[in-house]
Amino acid sequence: MTSSSKALWVIAALVASVAGCSAEEEEIRHRPLQPLVYTEVPGLTPEGAAVREDRLMREIVERHDHSESDDGEPRQLPILKDPDILGRAITEALIERDNLLWEHVFVRPEAYTGLVGVRLEEAEEFVDNQIGASLDLWRLFAASESTDAVPGGLGAILEYDGIELGRGRTVDGGVARDDEDAVQFWGSRVFLRHREEDLRFELRISRVFRVPGEEGGLWYQVASEVEGDRRFRTFLDVGLHLRPELLRTREYPYPLQVGNFWRYRRYDAETGRVDDDPLDIDLSEVADGAIAASEVSVEVRQVSQHGPVRLVELLRSYDDQDYTRNREWWVLTARRIYVCSGPCRNNIDDLAWLLTYFENQVPILRLPAVTGATWGNFSVRDDWETVEAVAGTFPGTVAIEGVGSLAATDRFLRGAELVRYFAPGRGEVFREIRGREGGTQMVNVVEELVEYRITE
C-alpha cells in the first residue's frame, strides 16, 4: 500500500466514524489532519501536506457523490498546449477558486519523473510542495469571497492580460539555443489587468516546464511556486477590491464628513482636569506653565472622492499663545487611513502611483479596528475598553499606541508617545500624550473629548 493510499484509508475511516462518536472522539475528530500525511510522507513540507490532505478529502466527497448519482461525467480540463492557455487557466483557477483547475496547471508527477529521472513518489512530493508553496497566493484570492466584495468578486475587477515566458533553458539548466530546445522557462510572468483603472498586476513563476501532456503533444505547466507581486497584495490589504459603498459616511467606521468636529480639553494627567461645566469655563485660565494649550478642536473641512479613495482635509486648532493651526490631509480606503503628503495629494487621481505610496507608508489606522493588531510602530491593546469622558461614555473602544506619521503634521506630537482611544462610529474620544511640552518640560497630557458633532 502506498503512503497516499494509506493516508486515504485512514482519513476515510475517520470520516466514517463521525456518527455516534463520544465526546473524547469528537475532540479527536476536530484535530488537524496535517500530522497524519506529514508523518506518512516526511518529504512533504507542512504546506504540501495540507495540499495532499485537501485533495484526499475531495476524493472522498466525490466518490460519495458519484455513488449516489449515475450521471456524473468526468470534467474536461483545458489542454495546456500553449502558454496563453496556461496563463488563462491560472487566472481562472485563482479567481474562481477552482481547486481542480489549480492543481491541473502544475506539472504532472509522471511528466516530472520523465524529465528529471526521479521516482514517482518523489515527483508527487515535489509537485505537492510547489502547490503548497503557492498557498499564500491562493489564499489572497479568497478575498473575493468576502461579503464586502463587489458582486462577482475579483472576477468583476480583474481580467487576464497575457503571459510572458522567461528565457528558455535545456533540461540541465543551460540556455536553450531556440524555443525548440527549451524544456523549461525561468522567470515567467502572468499579467492581470484591472477592468476600470489603469492598473496591472503580475503573478511570477520561477519555472514553467514544457513536457509531454496527458492528451499527447507538449504541455506548458507550472513547476515552481506562483507568487503575486507586492502591488497586488497592497491592493487587497487596503481594500480597493471592496464595495465602494464602504466609503460612505454611514458605512465608514471613522465619521469623516464635512462639518463634523471634535473638541478636546487638554490637561496635565498628574494635575487632573477642572470639573466645571466645560462649556461655561474660560479654558485659557485653566492652563498652567506645563501645558502650552488647554484646548484643541478638530474639524473636517473638505472631503473629495477620487475613484476608489477619498481625500479628507482636517483642521486642528489649539488655543496656545500662537493659536496654532495644523492642516492635515488623510487619504481613505475601505481598510486603511494614511496621512496624505504633498506628493500624495498631487497624484491623488493616479491609483497606480497611490499603490506605490501605500506600499511605502504606514497607515495611521487599520479598519476594522481589531484588538491585539500590530502594524508598523502601532499596536492595539488586547482588550476592548469603555472610556469615560465629559462628552459621554464610549464602550467598545480600542487603545492604539504609537505616533507614526501623525507627528509630521502636529508639533505637539513630535518626539512624543501617543495613545489614541478610537470608538468606531465616533472617532477618537481620548488621547494620552507623553512628551516635552514646548520642547522643554516633560509632561503627560490628556486630551479628553468635551463635545462633538457627527452628521450623516
d(CA 224, CA 107): 9
- Yes or no: say if 157 and 195 are a contact pair by the CB < 8 Å rule: yes
Q: Which of 18, 44, 68 is the last residue of a domain?
A: 68
Give the Cα separation of 2 and 54 in Å (integer).
18
Same domain as 286, residue 233 = no
Query: Residue ranges of the alpha helices (H) in 204-331?
Result: 230-237
pLDDT band (50, 70, 90) for residue 437? low
How confident is the model over 88-103, as a mean pLDDT?
Answer: 96
For position 273, what pLDDT does the model report? Answer: 60
pTM of the model: 0.81
Does any domain span residue 358? Answer: yes
The answer to whether 274 and 282 have CB atoms below 8 angstroms apart is no
Residue 78 lies in a domain: no
Q: What is the pLDDT of residue 10?
A: 42
pLDDT given at position 256: 96
Examine the pLDDT at 35 and tell me if it is beyond 50: no
- Residue 140 inside a domain? The answer is yes
Note the pLDDT of residue 270: 79
Q: What's the pLDDT tens digit per position in 134-188?
A: 999 999 998 766 788 888 889 999 999 999 999 999 888 888 887 667 899 999 9
Question: What are the distances in angstroms from CA 445 to CA 134, 268, 291?
Answer: 49, 5, 8
Domain that holds residue 27: 3-68
The reported pLDDT for the residue numbered 413 is 85
Query: In the listed set 237, 270, 302, which residue is the last one of a domain according to the structure?
Result: 237
24 has pLDDT over 60:
no
Q: Which of 222, 197, 208, 201 is nearest to 131 (CA)?
A: 222
Same domain, 44 and 114: no
> Do both 251 and 232 map to the same domain?
no
Is residue 183 one of the residues assigned to a domain? Answer: yes
What is the pLDDT at residue 278?
Answer: 42
Q: Specify the pLDDT at position 199.
A: 94
- List helix spans (H) across 17-166: 23-29, 34-40, 46-68, 83-96, 99-104, 109-116, 120-133, 135-140
Q: How far, in Å, are 49, 139, 200, 359 from residue 227 at the CA level?
A: 19, 11, 15, 17
Say whether pLDDT at 11 is over 60: no
Do 338 and 381 sit in the same domain of this protein?
yes
- Whether the per-residue pLDDT at 369 is higher than 70: the answer is yes
Beta strands at 261-268 and 226-228: parallel, antiparallel or unpaired: unpaired
| CATH code, 106 | 3.10.450
| Torsion sign across C-alpha atoms 46, 49, 54, 60 | negative
- Shared-domain flag, residues 329 and 447: yes
Q: Is residue 19 part of a domain?
A: yes
What would the DSSP string read from start to end of 423-452? ETTTEEEEEEEEEEETTTEEEEEEEEEEEE
pLDDT at residue 295, rounded to an integer: 94
Q: Is residue 145 part of a domain?
A: yes
pLDDT class for 57, splitting at 50, 70, 90? confident
User: Nearest to residue 136, comparing CAs of 215, 225, 263, 65?
Assistant: 225
Residues 184 and 256 in one domain: no
Query: Do 232 and 307 share a structural domain?
Result: no
Chain-centroid distance, C-alpha 338: 15
Whole-number percent of the chain with pLDDT over 90: 62
Beta bridge partners of 261: 299, 453
Q: What is the CATH number of the domain that holds 353?
A: 2.40.360
Residues 239-262 pLDDT 10s: 999 998 999 888 899 999 999 999
* DSSP letter string, 247-280: GSTTT-SS---TT-EEEEEEEETTT----S-TTT
Q: How far apart are CA 210 and CA 115, in angstroms?
A: 10
Clarify whether residues 308 and 449 are in a common domain: yes
Same domain, 229 and 336: no
Question: DSSP secondary-structure letter at 143?
Answer: G
- What pLDDT sits at residue 66? 56
pLDDT at 361 > cutoff 90: yes
Residues 248 and 355 in one domain: yes
pLDDT at 207 over 60: yes
Mean pLDDT rounded to a whole number for the chain: 84
Are both 207 and 259 inside the same structural domain?
no
75 domain-assigned: no
Span between the terminal Cα atoms of the chain, in Å: 67
Q: What pLDDT sits at residue 441?
A: 59
Residue 105 has pLDDT above 90, yes or no: yes
| C-alpha to C-alpha distance for 299 and 278, rounded to whole angstroms | 19
Pair (134, 155) in one structural domain: yes
> 361 with 351: CB under 8 angstroms?
no
Instruction: Write down the pLDDT at residue 309.
Output: 96
Q: Which amino acid is at 341?
A: S
Q: What pLDDT, on the 0 to 100 scale, is given for residue 5?
A: 47
Instruction: Give the model confidence (pLDDT) of 259-294 as tens digits.
Output: 999 999 999 887 776 544 444 444 444 444 446 789
Q: How many domains does the chain have?
A: 3
Which of 210, 237, 264 is the last residue in one of the domains? 237
Note whether residue 171 is domain-resident: yes
Q: How confident is the model at residue 75 (pLDDT cuts 50, 70, 90)?
A: confident
pLDDT tens for 107-123 read 999 999 998 889 999 99
